[in-house]
C-alpha cells in the first residue's frame, strides 16, 4: 500500500485530557494497553493473567452461578443480561454475524431494534439512555457499519450520555492488513469516547464488557466502544455470571469546600443559579428545588439543563446564552454571585469569557474537575456529585432573603417576555399547542436549528429527562432516532420529535423503523423550506445572501412519510394543529405532521456571537433601531 500512512497503534484509547474523567486505575490502564493495540503489536503481548483482571476482581461480588463454557457471542449476550439490558439498537453485517446469531436465539430476552442506518441506531441508543438514565447500547458491523456510528457516538460524548457501542472487527490474523471492511474504529473514535477497547482474547471479553458499562455510567458519563475481533466472537472459554460493578464515584470535595461555598452563598445580595445537564445526570432536582428556595434566587438553565428545575416556577427566568431570555441574560450580567450547578460554561452560554457576568463571583459545582476554570475562572468550586453536594449545602445554609433583587427579576420577566407573531402558524404556536395538548408531560426530542431553540423556549419543561437534544455537537438528524429510542425506553410517555425540514431529510429513513415496530411516536416537521438557523445568520449578518440554505425542490413529506409506512398530516393553519396533535396522540403507530411555516421567522432573543450577554436583542429592538 505505497503512499498510505503507516498505521500507528495508539498506546491506549483514552480520550485526550481536555475533559476530565476519573484517573484510570491500574486495572483500566492494563486493560486498555492490552486491548487497544493493533495486530502489529498484539502478538508480543500475549499474557496469561492481566493486572486488570486481578485488580478489578477485588471486592466484586460473584453471583454464585455455575461456570459454563460459552462462545464469545454467547458471552456478549450473557454480559448484556448481567447489566439488565433488554433493548439494543443496531444493524448486522459480516463480522458481527456470530453475535447476531446469538441475538436471534435470545430474542425473547434482548429485543434488538433494527434501524435503517447505524447512525439511527446510535441516536436511538442515546435517546433511550437520556430518557431512562440507563446505559444505551448500539451495535454495528466492522468498517462502514462502525463508521456510521461515529456521529452518534460524538453526539453522546459531547452531552455526557452513557452509551456502549459494540462493534465487531475482522479476525485477529487479518487485523492491520487492510482487510475487507476493516477500520480501526477504536482509533477513529478515540477522541470522542470516554474509553475504547479492542478485544482480541475471548478470556478478556466478559470483563471488558463489564468495565465498559461501569465506565460509561460512572462519574461524568459518556460513550465507550468495545470492538471485538470476529474470531473472539466464535472462540470459547469459561464464563461465570457476575454482578455489574461500579467504579467509585469521584468525590474530590472536602468539608472545607462545602463551608467555603456556604460562606460565599451567604455573602451574596444578588445571586443567580445557572443549571446545566449535570443536574439531570445526578438526579438532583429535589435538592435543587430546595436549594433555590433557600437561596431566594432566580434560576436559569442551559439547553442541557432543561427540566432539572421547574420551568413554570415563578423564579425561573428561562434559558441563558445565545438564545436565552432577556431577563436571564441581563440578570446574569447584573448578579453578584453566579452559582453554576452541573454546567460547563459553554461558548453558547457565555458568548465571551471576558464580558461574561462581569459583576459576579463564581461558585462552580461539577463532578468533572476538568471543567473548573476551563472557560470561566471560579471564585470557589466544589467537585463531586451535585445531588450529594446540594444535600450538604442545604443542611448548612440558612434561609436567605433577597426580596429586592427578586422584585427586580420579576419586573424584568413581566416586561420582557418571549414574543412571536400570533396572526399565523408559527413554530412557537405549534410548540405551545403541543404543551397544552400533552399537559406538559411529553418527552420532546429535537433536531438542530431554529425549531430546536423554539422547542426549548416554548415547551415548559418541568421534569428531568424530558428534553432530549443534541446540545454539544448540534447534530442535525439526531431527533428521529432519539425519539424512537426514547419511546422504547419510556413507552408510558408521549414522545415527540420536533424536527426541521433540513434535519428530517438527513435521517428520515428511520420512519421505516418506527413503522416496522409500530412505535407510536409523533414526528413534527417544522417545514420552513429553508435551513432556517443558517438563513437567519445570512439574513442578519451576511447581507441576505442565502447561500445554499433554500431547500427548493419537490419533496412532499406527507408522501414520503406515507411511503415509509406512517400516517401523515399536513398542517398549514393555526386551527389545524390541535386536532392533528390529538389524532397523532391517539394513533397506534407513528404519525408525521408536516407543518408549513414562513421561511423568515426568526429565533429571538439573540446575542450576536462574541458579544456580551447584555447585548441581547429581539425583533422589537431591531425594528426600533431601523425606524
Ligand atoms: C450534520 C450537520 N450539518 C450541518 C449543521 C449546520 N446547521 C445547523 S442548523 C442548520 C439548519 C437546520 O435546518 P432545518 O433542519 O430546516 O431547521 P430550521 O433551522 O429551519 O428550523 C444547519 C445546516 C449541523 N448542525 N449539523
Ligand atoms: Mg428548516
Cα 546 to ligand 1 centroid, rounded to whole Å: 14
Cα 542 to ligand 2 centroid, rounded to whole Å: 18
What is the structure's pLDDT at 37?
30
What is the structure's pLDDT at 246?
79
What is the structure's pLDDT at 6?
36
User: Which residue has cell 412505535?
Assistant: 519
Cα 449 to ligand 2 centroid, rounded to whole Å: 7
Cα angle: 158, vertex 159, 160; to 5 degrees = 95
What is the structure's pLDDT at 579?
98
Cα 577 to ligand 2 centroid, rounded to whole Å: 18
Residue 74 C-alpha cell reads as 454467547
- DSSP helix, strand, coil percent of the chain (3-state; round to 5): 40, 15, 40
Cα 603 to ligand 1 centroid, rounded to whole Å: 14
Ligand 1 pocket mutation pick from 504, 533, 536, 601 by most atoms within 8 angstroms of CB: 533
Those residues whose beta carbon sits under 5 angstroms from the ion ligand 2 are 500-502, 528, 532
- CB atoms inside a 10 Å sphere around CB 572: 13
HSE-CB for 557 with a 13 A CA cutoff: 29
Close Cβ partners of 261 (under 8 Å, ≥ 6 residues apart): 363, 365, 380, 382, 393
In angstroms, rounded to a whole number, what is the distance separating the alpha carbons of residues 17 and 371?
Answer: 11
HSE-CB for 144 with a 13 A CA cutoff: 5
Ligand 1 pocket mutation pick from 428, 474, 476 by most atoms within 8 angstroms of CB: 476
Nearest Cα residue to 17 out of 380, 368, 386: 368
Beta-strand runs (E) in 207-326 = 223-229, 236-239, 271-275, 299-301, 316-319
Ligand 1 pocket mutation pick from 502, 538, 548, 609 by most atoms within 8 angstroms of CB: 502
Residues of the chain with pLDDT below 70 are 1-64
Close Cβ partners of 23 (under 8 Å, ≥ 6 residues apart): none
Question: Could you tell me the end-to-end alpha-carbon distance of the chain, in angstroms, rounded to an integer?
Answer: 66
Residue 265 C-alpha cell reads as 452563598
In angstroms, rounded to a whole number, what is the distance separating the alpha carbons of residues 581 and 369?
Answer: 44
pLDDT digits (tens, 9 = 90+) for 329-357: 999 999 999 999 999 999 999 999 999 99
Is residue 591 within 8 Å of 522, Cβ to Cβ?
yes
- 258: helix, strand or coil: helix
What is the structure's pLDDT at 625?
87
Residue 129 C-alpha cell reads as 439512555
HSE-CB for 171 with a 13 A CA cutoff: 7
Nearest Cα residue to 405 out of 438, 360, 467, 373: 360
Is residue 576 within 8 Å of 430, Cβ to Cβ?
no
Q: Which of the ligands is closest to the CA of residue 505?
A: 1
Going by DSSP bridges, is the β-strand pair 236-239/68-71 parallel, antiparallel, or unpaired?
A: antiparallel
- 564: helix, strand or coil: coil
What is the structure's pLDDT at 361?
98
Cα 501 to ligand 2 centroid, rounded to whole Å: 5
What is the structure's pLDDT at 308?
98
Q: Residue 290 carries which DSSP code?
A: H
Ramachandran category for residue 394: left, alpha or beta (phi over 0 → left; psi -120 to 50 → alpha): alpha
Nearest Cα residue to 305 out of 343, 346, 339: 343
Close Cβ partners of 544 (under 8 Å, ≥ 6 residues apart): 538
Phi, psi dihedrals of residue 319, rounded to the nearest 5°: -70, 155
Close Cβ partners of 423 (under 8 Å, ≥ 6 residues apart): none
- 218: helix, strand or coil: coil
Q: Which atom of ligand 1 is nearest to the CA of 503?
A: 15
pTM of the full predicted structure? Answer: 0.92
In angstroms, rounded to a whole number, what is the distance separating the alpha carbons of residues 324 and 456?
Answer: 10
Q: Which atom of ligand 1 is nearest to the CA of 473?
A: 25
Q: Residue 605, preceding bond cis, omega within 30 degrees? A: yes
Cα angle: 91, vertex 97, 100; to 5 degrees = 60
Burial bucket for residue 244 (CB in 10 Å: 0-12, 13-18, 19+): middle
Going by DSSP bridges, is the β-strand pair 361-366/316-319 parallel, antiparallel, or unpaired?
A: unpaired
Q: What is the set of active-site residues?
A: 118, 180-181, 230, 533
The residue whose C-alpha atom lies closest to atom 5 belonging to ligand 1 is 476
What is the structure's pLDDT at 50?
32
394 to 286, 326, 435: CA distances (angstroms)? 11, 29, 32
Is residue 226 within 8 Å of 199, Cβ to Cβ?
yes
- What domains are defined for the chain? 26-239 (3.40.50.970), 255-415 (3.40.50.1220), 427-603 (3.40.50.970)
Which residues have any ligand 1 atom within 6 Å of their CB? 447-451, 474-476, 500-503, 526, 528, 530-534
The residue whose C-alpha atom lies closest to atom 2 belonging to ligand 1 is 476
Is residue 246 within 8 Å of 216, Cβ to Cβ?
no
User: Which residue has cell 463508521?
Assistant: 147
Strand partners, 568: 592
- CB atoms inside a 10 Å sphere around CB 537: 13
Q: Which atom of ligand 1 is nearest to the CA of 452?
A: 21
Amino acid at each position: 500500500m505505497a503512499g498510505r500512512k503507516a498505521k500507528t497503534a495508539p498506546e491506549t484509547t483514552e480520550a485526550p485530557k481536555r475533559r476530565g474523567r476519573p484517573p484510570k486505575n491500574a486495572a483500566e490502564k492494563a486493560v486498555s494497553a492490552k486491548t487497544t493495540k493493533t495486530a502489529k503489536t498484539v502478538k508480543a503481548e500475549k499474557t496469561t493473567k492481566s493486572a486488570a483482571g486481578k485488580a478489578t476482581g477485588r471486592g466484586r461480588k460473584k453471583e454464585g452461578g455455575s461456570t459454563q463454557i460459552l462462545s464469545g457471542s454467547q458471552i456478549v449476550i450473557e454480559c448484556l443480561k448481567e447489566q439488565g439490558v433488554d433493548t439494543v439498537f443496531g444493524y448486522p453485517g459480516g463480522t458481527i454475524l456470530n453475535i447476531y446469531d446469538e441475538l436471534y436465539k435470545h430474542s425473547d430476552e434482548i429485543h434488538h431494534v433494527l434501524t435503517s442506518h447505524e447512525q439511527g441506531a446510535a441516536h436511538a441508543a442515546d435517546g433511550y439512555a437520556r430518557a431512562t438514565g440507563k446505559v444505551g447500547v448500539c451495535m454495528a458491523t466492522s468498517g462502514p457499519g462502525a463508521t456510521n456510528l461515529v456521529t452518534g457516538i460524538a453526539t453522546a460524548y459531547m452531552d455526557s450520555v452513557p452509551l456502549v457501542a459494540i462493534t465487531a472487527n475482522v479476525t485477529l490474523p487479518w487485523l492491520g492488513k487492510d482487510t475487507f471492511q476493516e477500520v480501526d474504529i477504536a482509533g477513529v473514535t478515540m477522541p470522542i469516547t470516554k474509553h475504547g477497547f479492542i478485544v482480541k482474547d475471548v478470556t478478556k471479553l466478559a470483563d471488558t464488557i463489564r468495565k465498559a458499562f461501569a465506565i460509561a455510567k460512572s462519574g461524568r458519563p459518556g460513550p465507550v466502544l468495545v470492538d471485538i475481533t470476529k474470531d473472539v466472537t466464535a472462540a470459547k472459554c469459561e464464563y461465570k455470571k457476575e454482578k455489574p460493578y461500579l467504579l467509585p464515584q469521584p468525590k474530590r470535595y472536602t468539608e472545607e469546600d462545602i463551608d467555603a461555598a456556604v460562606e460565599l452563598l451567604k455573602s451574596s445580595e444578588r445571586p443567580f443559579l445557572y443549571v446545566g445537564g449535570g443536574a439531570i445526570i445526578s438526579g438532583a432536582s429535589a435538592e435543587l428545588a430546595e436549594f433555590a428556595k433557600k437561596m431566594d434566587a432566580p434560576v436559569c438553565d442551559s439547553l442541557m439543563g432543561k427540566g432539572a428545575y421547574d420551568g413554570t416556577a415563578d423564579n425561573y427566568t428561562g434559558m441563558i446564552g445565545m438564545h436565552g431570555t432577556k431577563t436571564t441574560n441581563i440578570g446574569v450580567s447584573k448578579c453578584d454571585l453566579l452559582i453554576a450547578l452541573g454546567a460547563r460554561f459553554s461558548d453558547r452560554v457565555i458568548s465571551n469569557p471576558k464580558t461574561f457576568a462581569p459583576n459576579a463571583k463564581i461558585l462552580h459545582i461539577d463532578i468533572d474537575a476538568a471543567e473548573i476554570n476551563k472557560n470561566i475562572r471560579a471564585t470557589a468550586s466544589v467537585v463531586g456529585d451535585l445531588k450529594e453536594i446540594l444535600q450538604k449545602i442545604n443542611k448548612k445554609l440558612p434561609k436567605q432573603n433577597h426580596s429586592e433583587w427578586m422584585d427586580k427579576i420579576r419586573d424584568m420577566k413581566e416586561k420582557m417576555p418571549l414574543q412571536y407573531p400570533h396572526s399565523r402558524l408559527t413554530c412557537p404556536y405549534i410548540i405551545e399547542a403541543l404543551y397544552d395538548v400533552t399537559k406538559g408531560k411529553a418527552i420532546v426530542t429535537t433536531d438542530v436549528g431554529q425549531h430546536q431553540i423554539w422547542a426549548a423556549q416554548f415547551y415548559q419543561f418541568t421534569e428531568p429527562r424530558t428534553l432530549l437534544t443534541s446540545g454539544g455537537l448540534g447534530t442535525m438528524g439526531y431527533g428521529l432516532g432519539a425519539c424512537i429510542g426514547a419511546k422504547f425506553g419510556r413507552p408510558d410517555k408521549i414522545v415527540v420529535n420536533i424536527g426541521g425540514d433540513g434535519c428530517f431529510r438527513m435521517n428520515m429513513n428511520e420512519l421505516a423503523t418506527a413503522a416496522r415496530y409500530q412505535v407510536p411516536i409523533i414526528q413534527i416537521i417544522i417545514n420552513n423550506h429553508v435551513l432556517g438557523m443558517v438563513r437567519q445568520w445570512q439574513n442578519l449578518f451576511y447581507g441576505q445572501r442565502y447561500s445554499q440554505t433554500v431547500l427548493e425542490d419537490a419533496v412532499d413529506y406527507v408522501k414520503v412519510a406515507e411511503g415509509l409506512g406512517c400516517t401523515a398530516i399536513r398542517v398549514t393553519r393555526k386551527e389545524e394543529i390541535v386536532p392533528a396533535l390529538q389524532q397523532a396522540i391517539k394513533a397506534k403507530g407513528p404519525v408525521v405532521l408536516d407543518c408549513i411555516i414562513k421561511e423568515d421567522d426568526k429565533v429571538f432573543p439573540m446575542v450576536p456571537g462574541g458579544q456580551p450577554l447584555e447585548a441581547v436583542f429581539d425583533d422589537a429592538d431591531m425594528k426600533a433601531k431601523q425606524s
